[in-house]
Structure 1
Amino acid sequence: MIDVNGLTKQYGPVRAVDDLTFTVKPGVVTGFLGPNGAGKSTTMRMILGLDTPTSGTALIDGSPYAQLKQPARRVGALLDAKGVHPNRSARASLLWQAQASGLPAARVDEVLELVGLSGVAGKRAGGFSLGMGQRLGIASAMLGDPEYLILDEPVNGLDPEGIRWVRGLLRGLADEGRTILVSSHLLAEMAQTADHLIVIGRGRLVADTSVHEFIKGNSAMATVVRPAGTEAIAEMEAALAAAEVRFVRGADLDGRPTITIEGRSSDEIGALAFSAGVPIAELTERRASLEDAYIQSTEGHVQYQATTQPTSRETSQVSLKGKHRA
């Protein structure tokens, strides 16, 4: 496990990480979320021994990173995909890392094959696209076949196929019992990848929970029912009124009448319709996305935030000004 306990990092008057405590368990993908400036990268750097905490501890399997024996075989990390020599080939970049860590040279070709870079292994890393650079960074993290994997924005710059590949890789590694901590701003992707979430804001813990419970606890639920026929609509509304359940009339995209009930599950509304003998054509439970829940939970924890949303006219003017300057 990765155990973070009371972790604090002070830079002059700025407290980047503030008494942070959480545990990353094996066998699950743990997503690490937070607004820009929340302290995610600083926390990861302290876990990896790259920054010294002002106070608190960050332990991997009960020890600081610096005290691990053969750390490359225990922990793989990607914090900055651009941290490679631009004039070295992909294979050369990995080979010196393998040699420095006492890893067999054959492992280099294995990870290049794993990330899909075998065909460009001899090309200079400086000529790689952002997505190819990310793949090379993941290959570096996987060199020692580690049991712990710490990745900062690993899907940044990847195309849909690459994002799907990373998702499958992380899920597969977690299924093997490895410990995975991954940060990302792509919340829709994180909703499909992570089992558990650590959410921080302004260096403090905001949430430490499963993805399901996080969405459930930070978003409203609503059920939309479409009764089968005009008479059924009146009967459903009467049944809801008799049960003192508030509802809102509406319509779907085809203009068919619907009834929306906030805060009630589809099980509850379905049971009510059944007991009242109301025929139902559609019954849908709606919950917010991970993005909606994230925005709700981090409200008040955002360090850099615009005061207003630009109108479409303002957006167009900015775009036109940019084109004029170009």
Structure 2
Amino acid sequence: MIHVEALTKDYGQVRAVEDLTFTVKPGIVTGFLGPNGAGKSTTMRMILGLDTPTAGAALVDSRPYRDLRRPLTVVGSLLDAKAVHPNRTAANHLRWLAQSNGIPPERVDDVLGLVGLTGVARKKTGGFSLGMGQRLGLAAALLGDPKILVLDEPVNGLDPEGIRWVRDLLGALAAEGRTVLISSHLLSEMALTADRLIVIGRGRLVADTSTAEFIREHSASTVVVRSERIEELAEHLSRAGLKSVPAPGPTLEVADATTEQVGALAFTGGFQLQELSLRQASLEDAFMDSTGSAVQYQAQKTAR
């Protein structure tokens, strides 16, 4: 488990993180979201002992990261896949990490196979593509078979097959009871991967909730209903207090309602329906709604 309590970080006169508190629980994949400059990277660095908090604490497995005797066997992390000596081979990069943490050397071959890099194990990392470097970074994170994973943009540079592989891998690791925290700007992918979301803006907590609840709370859903007697149906819904707007074809869009409500009213009014569906907003819509005021760098809209 990861526990962050009243975490604050100042860089001179700039406050990057302010009084941040949250818990990342085992058994689920937790997404860590926020606009650029929100303090995500700073928070992750404090969790991993790379930056010292101005106030508060960040604990992994109930201890500060710096107190872990063999950290790679407790926490696996990926913050910068390019932080590899370019003249080392993939296998040698992992071997020295294994040796530094008392990890059996045969584990290197295991993780290289797991991430699909067995064929390039003896190649120098300086010639790796972005996607290959990302896979090597994931191999390093998994090297100690840790129960906690902290990953920043884990699918960066991967092709669609690689992205799906990471999604399935993270889900499987969480199902084993591990704690998984991932940060990503790919909101569509996060919607498929994360069970729970921690959202921050300008260093403060914006939301700590399930992905489904976050979308539901920060975006509107619309019921789409289609019938041959669409005008009569609109009047029937209006008398029941539901507002609707016409859509292309014999279709209505009903805001602030559920399919159960609209379906029940259509049934009592004797309307035969050709369509009754819920159009749910995306995670991107919900994210923009909840963090719009916390965006640090905003580009001007271009006139058309």
TM-score, scaled relative to structure 1: 0.92
How large is the RMSD of aligned CA atoms in angstroms?
A: 0.9
Shift of 1:250: 1.7
Other structure's SS at 1:156 match: coil
Shift of 1:18: 0.7
Structure 2 Cα separation of the partners of residues 63 and 310 of structure 1: 53
Letter in 2 for 1:273: A
Cα deviation 1:205-258 (Å, max 9, x = unaligned): 01000000000000011111100x2xx22331231122132111121xxxx221
Shift of 1:305: 1.0
Letter in 2 for 1:241: S
Q: Which residue of 2 aligns with 1:237?
A: 234
Q: Which residue of 1 aligns with 2:254?
A: 261
Shift of 1:143: 0.4
Which of 274, 291, 312 matches 2:284? 291
Q: Which residue of 2 aligns with 1:318?
A: none
Structure 2 Cα separation of the partners of residues 150 and 261 of structure 1: 41
Structure 2 Cα separation of the partners of residues 24 and 15 of structure 1: 23
Letter in 1 for 2:66: A
Which of 243, 246, 264 matches 2:243? 246
Query: Are residue 302 (structure 1) and residue 295 (structure 2) matched?
Result: yes
Other structure's SS at 1:181 match: strand
Query: Are residue 8 (structure 1) and residue 8 (structure 2) matched?
Result: yes
Structure 1 Cα separation of the partners of residues 234 and 63 of structure 2: 62
Structure 2 Cα separation of the partners of residues 53 and 160 of structure 1: 37
Letter in 2 for 1:142: L
Shift of 1:310: 5.9
Shift of 1:35: 0.7
Cα deviation 1:276-320 (Å, max 9, x = unaligned): 110000011111100000010001101111021464xxxxxxxxx
Shift of 1:274: 0.7
Structure 2 Cα separation of the partners of residues 237 and 47 of structure 1: 54
Structure 2 Cα separation of the partners of residues 11 and 309 of structure 1: 34
1:16-55 pair list within 5 angstroms: 16-55=16-55
Q: Which residue of 2 aligns with 1:317?
A: none
Letter in 2 for 1:257: P
Other structure's SS at 2:266 match: helix
Letter in 2 for 1:108: V
Q: Which residue of 2 aligns with 1:196?
A: 196
Runs of 4+ in 1 over 3 A off after TM superposition: none
Other structure's SS at 1:272 match: helix
Q: Which residue of 1 aligns with 2:207?
A: 207
Q: Which residue of 2 aligns with 1:178?
A: 178
Structure 2 Cα separation of the partners of residues 16 and 139 of structure 1: 30
Query: Are residue 60 (structure 1) and residue 57 (structure 2) matched?
Result: no
Percent identity among equivalent residues? 64
Shift of 1:101: 1.0
Other structure's SS at 2:57 match: strand
Cα deviation 1:130-181 (Å, max 9, x = unaligned): 0110000000000000000000011111110000000001000000000000
Other structure's SS at 2:294 match: coil
Structure 1 gaps of 5+ residues are 312-326
Structure 2 gaps of 5+ residues are none
Structure 2 Cα separation of the partners of residues 25 and 264 of structure 1: 33
Structure 2 Cα separation of the partners of residues 243 and 76 of structure 1: 55
Alignment size in residue pairs: 304
Shift of 1:70: 1.9
Letter in 2 for 1:260: E
Q: Which residue of 2 aligns with 1:142?
A: 142
Letter in 2 for 1:78: L
Letter in 2 for 1:119: G
Change (3 A) 1:178 1:301: same
Q: Which residue of 2 aligns with 1:115?
A: 115
Other structure's SS at 2:97 match: helix
Q: Which residue of 1 aligns with 2:275?
A: 282
Structure 2 Cα separation of the partners of residues 237 and 171 of structure 1: 44
Letter in 2 for 1:243: A
Q: Which residue of 1 aligns with 2:157?
A: 157
Cα deviation 1:56-113 (Å, max 9, x = unaligned): 0001121101112321111100010000001111111111111111111100000000
